[in-house]
A = this chain, B = another copy of it.
Amino acid sequence: VEQVARELRRRGFRLTPQRLAIVRALAMTDSHPSAETLYEELLPSFPTMSLATVYKTLNTLREMGQVMQLEFKEGSTRYDGRHPDSHAHLICSACGRIQDVEVDPFSSEARGAIQALGFQLARYRFDLYGLCQGCQQKGASATMKAAR
């Protein structure tokens, strides 16, 4: 949070209460919230907060490289304020949870293929869809119940 605040100042942006609240909220969660979710979360403490402000702030932070933006078609765009660099995501198709994968995902074949095509890689987005451990168990018991 400190670091983002400093960076905002350094770039000539004002450190308003709203911006600070959004930065804090992003830093406190692992849950990759959407703009709407953030807005609802902040509304109790900032009754005058508007969705437009959330969007504007998120866009500012993204341009600063402080958050990573993840677009989905199901539901809306989600934001990751803790890992602004490229990394892989595990996305549960049942509960919508997004977990981060910390290891380098690239196979050496893939790196080779990219290089062979002369492509200059800047960043990537790697989303893995499937079932998280919890939903597999829930699904299994649901199936069993249905079978009776």
Partner-B contacts on A (CB < 8 A): 69, 71-73, 77, 88, 90, 92-93, 99, 101-110, 112-114, 117-133, 136
- What number of copies of this chain does the assembly contain? 2
Query: CB distance A125 to B124 under 8 Å?
Result: no
Query: CB distance A119 to B113 under 8 Å?
Result: no
Query: Could you tell me the distance in whole angstroms from the C-beta of A100 to the nearest C-beta in chain B?
Result: 10
Query: CB distance A88 to B72 under 8 Å?
Result: no
Given contacts A73-B77, A105-B105, contact A120 B110 (CB under 8 A): no
- CA of A108 to CA of B107, assembled, Å: 7
Query: CB distance B73 to A73 under 8 Å?
Result: no
- CA of A129 to CA of B114, assembled, Å: 11
- CA of A36 to CA of B140, assembled, Å: 41
Query: CB distance B106 to A90 under 8 Å?
Result: no
Which one of B109, B114, B128, B131 contacts A128 once the chains associate, using CB atoms below 8 Å? B114
Query: Could you tell me the distance in whole angstroms from the C-beta of A31 to the nearest C-beta in chain B?
Result: 16
Measured CB to CB, the nearest residue on chain B to A112 is B103
Query: CB distance A128 to B121 under 8 Å?
Result: yes
Measured CB to CB, the nearest residue on chain B to A132 is B119
Of A114, A123, A128, most B-chain CB atoms within 10 Å: A128
Query: CB distance A136 to B123 under 8 Å?
Result: no
